């Protein structure tokens, strides 16, 4: 590797995206790591990650259909608020229009435990499921997607603007990943 000037990619700095120290209600871990539903629109999973730009952090929320691991909803915003995850969920729901009783799995972050998010799940006829505290393996498919995104597209790239990062991340999902 040294002879050819090749260097391994390394992970960048870490920024916490889950605040599970809140007093909001937490759903049971109904999914229990059963990541292989037998049909589409039965089990969806969501999570949040971060992307560094020269302007500031960007946060990305995704919704993945666990049947085929397709990213069916996403949102990118400069702040990690409940609106970030609500927008991703709404996009997924409007793109798929699933029947009732989809199981939606996430971590126990305050965005997913919020009253607004839980109300949206109920309005869409979805059931909630949340990972155990501090257990990233309980949401492995979304963590795996974020690992692929960062290793294949983000690490080693310096985004000058949030706009440039947003465009590049959209391209990754729409053209490459899905």
Parallel, antiparallel or unpaired: strands 127-130 and 43-52: unpaired
pLDDT of residue 79: 94
Structure-token match 């992307």, residue found: 51
Q: What is the DSSP letter of 48?
A: E
Q: Which of 57, 61, 41 is nearest to 49 (CA)?
A: 61
Q: What is the mean pLDDT of residues 113-131?
A: 96
Convert the pLDDT of each residue in 51-89 to its tens digit: 999 999 999 999 999 999 999 999 999 999 999 999 999
To the nearest 10 degrees (0 to 180), the angle between helices 82-96 and 115-123 is: 10
**Domain chopping of the chain, boundaries:** 43-177
What CA–CA distance (Å, rounded) separates 133 from 115? Answer: 19
Q: Which of 74, 93, 92, 94 is nearest to 84 (CA)?
A: 74
The fold adopted by the segment(s) 43-177 is: Nucleotidyltransferase; domain 5 (3.30.420)
Convert the pLDDT of each residue in 166-178 to its tens digit: 999 999 999 999 8
Q: Is the pLDDT of residue 158 over 50?
A: yes
Confidence of residue 14 (pLDDT cuts 50, 70, 90): very low
Contact 82, 61 (CB under 8 A): no
Count the alpha carbons within 13 Å of 113 in the hemisphere toward its beta carbon: 18
Q: What is the mean pLDDT of residues 132-156?
A: 90
């Amino acid at each position: 590797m040294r002879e050819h000037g090749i260097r391994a990619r390394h992970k960048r700095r870490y920024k916490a995206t889950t605040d599970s120290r809140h007093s909001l209600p937490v759903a049971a871990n109904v999914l229990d790591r059963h990541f292989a539903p037998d049909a589409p629109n039965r089990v969806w999973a969501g999570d949040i990650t971060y992307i560094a730009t020269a302007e500031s952090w960007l946060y990305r929320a995704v919704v993945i259909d666990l049947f085929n691991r397709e990213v069916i909803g996403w949102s990118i915003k400069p702040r990690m608020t409940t609106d970030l995850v609500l927008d991703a969920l709404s996009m997924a729901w409007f793109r798929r229009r699933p029947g009732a009783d989809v199981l939606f799995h996430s971590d126990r972050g305050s965005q997913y435990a919020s009253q607004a998010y839980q109300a949206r799940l109920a309005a869409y006829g979805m059931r909630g499921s949340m990972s155990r505290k501090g257990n990233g393996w309980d949401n492995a498919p979304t963590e795996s997607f974020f690992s692929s995104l960062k290793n294949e597209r983000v690490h080693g790239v310096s985004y000058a603007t949030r706009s440039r990062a947003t465009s590049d991340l959209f391209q990754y999902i729409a053209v490459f990943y899905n």
